Structure 1
């Protein structure tokens, strides 16, 4: 009986220590779910999903002339996000969230059909965002874009 009360007391003290060590704001800040203070009309993902976010469709990201064929550019998107735009051919572009899925670093501009993360060397295919070389285990998240005149725009 005495052993049971010691175990329970230890469990309770450990729980209190964890609760005091992790402020609730830290847990909320790590969440990818928008908080209730964010407006429903403000894009929270900056078009980083394949279908884009409400209010971002048609937003120009970069002039097509500024995205070299076989290469690309890392550009600012609505909501403070970064997007990597890869120019596959004279008229075809692909875009991805520029955040490396390995540890959240920003990837570099595409070169030679490859997008590289400078932090740990992960490589992704510019044409599909798939992992070519780890340590990343998942590919880049696609962002829906199109060429509209002389601009690359979110769709």
Structure 2
């Protein structure tokens, strides 16, 4: 004899399946950009970074020079949903996906949707070359 599931069993099964799907969706939408890997160390000529702006280096770092000789770098990955920032103005680093804007001075959020700043990277200058790597 084959037993038909009763209403209670159907609802319990749906709740368990829906709960598991929700856990999977939460993990897929996580904004943790660490990925278990460390960021690489990259170099660029200091002369390539425009004063009052910056550039995105290898889709990894946003390197800026707010004033002559003042170099700063941040991860180029927006903490909101992992998009790579693209545009750098005199005062802002802009994510193209949802228009989060970050300060070139310190990586803090100027407008969201994110409320998490860009992570600072380490910049060292020697002989006209900038070496950018993860903050220590």
- SS of 2:67's partner is coil
- Say which of 43, 46, 50 aligns to 1:68: 50
Give the C-alpha shift of residue 148 in structure 1: 2.0
- Say which of 41, 45, 50 aligns to 2:38: 45
| 1:38 counterpart residue number | none
Q: 1: CA distance between counterparts of 2:94 and 2:72?
A: 15
Give the C-alpha shift of residue 85 in structure 1: 0.4
Q: Provide structure 2 residue ranges, at least 5 long, that are not aligned to the other structure.
A: 1-5
Q: 1: CA distance between counterparts of 2:18 and 2:115?
A: 34
| 1:93 counterpart residue number | 71
| 1:14 counterpart residue number | 15
Bigger strand share: 2
- SS of 2:47's partner is helix
Give the C-alpha shift of residue 18 in structure 1: 5.5
Give the C-alpha shift of residue 95 in structure 1: 0.7
Within 5 A, what are the aligned runs for 1:120-139?
120-139=98-117
Give the TM-score, by structure 2 length: 0.72
Give the TM-score, by structure 1 length: 0.64
